[in-house]
Amino acid sequence: MLFFRRNNNGVKPTDNIYLIVGLGNIGKKYDATRHNIGFMAVEELAREYSCAFKNSRTGKGEESSVNIGGNRLIFFKPNTYMNRSGDAVAAIMKYYKIPKSKLLIISDDINLPVGKLRFRAKGSDGGHNGLWNISNRIGGDDYARLRIGVGTPPEEMDQADYVLGRFLSAEKTAVDMAITRAADGVKIWMNNGIEAAANEYNGL
């Protein structure tokens, strides 16, 4: 398992900034829902590094940051709701001058079993409205993403109701493990790139 050494020597952040965005919807009624697993993943990363979320300087979400080994990691949760995630992502990328090569988006995926991870260097939105809006707002789909499986809706259930619902108690172990693996996978992406993260986790 890869970990970073925390930079405690007072060195100022460099321009080597990485932006990790977890997608979700704001508000207590959406907490811990399937659609918010991106939020859950970046919250786990912030917890590991003991850095608290605060209102973003862009006004379009909450951010948390840590300086590690000469790199600055920014964890971000948009407050624009899922369908307008691109507005928030574009704003924070512009504010910190972050290129798409240093961006990772974490989202839910109904086409993957609960707890399965899929790292990709780029690709289509796969019908995910948050990813669709991001691709349109930042000028293309050539950015890294991590999809976390939340399972497929039952045939008789509306897709929106399903993703806005909470996980079953029987799924808790798989969800917790997925969030832990997602956090570790982000570290591998940082150190060794998206292909290394995919090789490590996509087959599990």
Q: Which of the residues are catalytic? A: 35
Query: Which residues lie closer than 8 Å to 103 by C-beta, 6 or more apart?
Result: 18, 19, 21, 89, 93, 138, 143, 144
The three-state secondary structure class of 74 is strand
The three-state secondary structure class of 13 is coil
Question: Per-residue b/e over 126-153, b at no fewer than 16 CB within 10 Å?
Answer: bebbbbbbbbebbeebebbbbbbbbbeb
CB-based burial label for 30 (10 Å; 0-12, 13-18, 19+): middle
Using only C-alpha atoms, the chain has a radius of gyration, in whole angstroms, of 16
Separation of alpha carbons 41 and 8, rounded Å: 25
